[in-house]
Amino acid sequence: MIQDSFEVQRYAQGRWQVLAIFDDRELALSHAATLRDLGRHPGLRVRHEAYDERRNHFTSTTIFRHSRLDNHNISAVRTRGAEHRRLDPVSVLSQPGRLAALEADLPPEGAEQFLASATLKLAKIMMLGLFALIMLRCLKLLL
């Protein structure tokens, strides 16, 4: 049996916080739209949480997302597209599901953590490369 729930979440103080949990998708979306129209939250989203007891499998999907910066971001992408004709961001945005796929799994609070993680990975790769060069040089001296 699959159990579904829909969480209405707001972005505040650097993280997503659950405001309400619904069993009905339409009620959750309606509640999120009402909160969006009130304009008190900088970010809102509705997450569909599904748990399949038979398979012991959990999935979580964003089905609604709103940010005060959404309109600004779309206009910025269009402006950038006008400046750089080689790239056509409007066509990227018009591809079905493309924009949702790009935004769905990138919560605002994860940006700094992602950058720090990417920097550490790059540093590790560079250190391994340097180690490999030193080892090759040592091997060359031995021969």
> Distance (Å, rounded) from C-alpha 63 to C-alpha 46?
6
Q: How many domains does the chain have?
A: 3
Instruction: Write the DSSP string, 56-102.
Output: TEEEEEEEEEEETTHHHHHHHHHHHHHH-TT--HHHHHHSTTHHHHH
The pTM of the full predicted model, rounded to 2 decimals, is 0.50
pLDDT at 14: 82
Q: Which range of residues forms the domain containing residue 142?
A: 110-143
CA-wise closest residue to 45 among 53, 36, 54, 37: 36
- Give 85 or 67, the one with higher predicted confidence: 67
Residue 124 phi, psi (nearest 5): -65, -45
Please indicate, yes or no, whether residues 84 and 47 belong to a single structural domain of this protein. Answer: no
Each residue's pLDDT tens digit, 32-65:
999 988 988 888 999 999 998 888 888 999 999 8
Please indicate, yes or no, whether residues 61 and 73 belong to a single structural domain of this protein. Answer: no
Q: Which residues contact 1 (CB under 8 A, 6 or more apart)?
A: 52, 53, 54
Please indicate, yes or no, whether residues 10 and 32 belong to a single structural domain of this protein. Answer: yes
In a 3-state reduction of DSSP, which class is residue 132?
helix
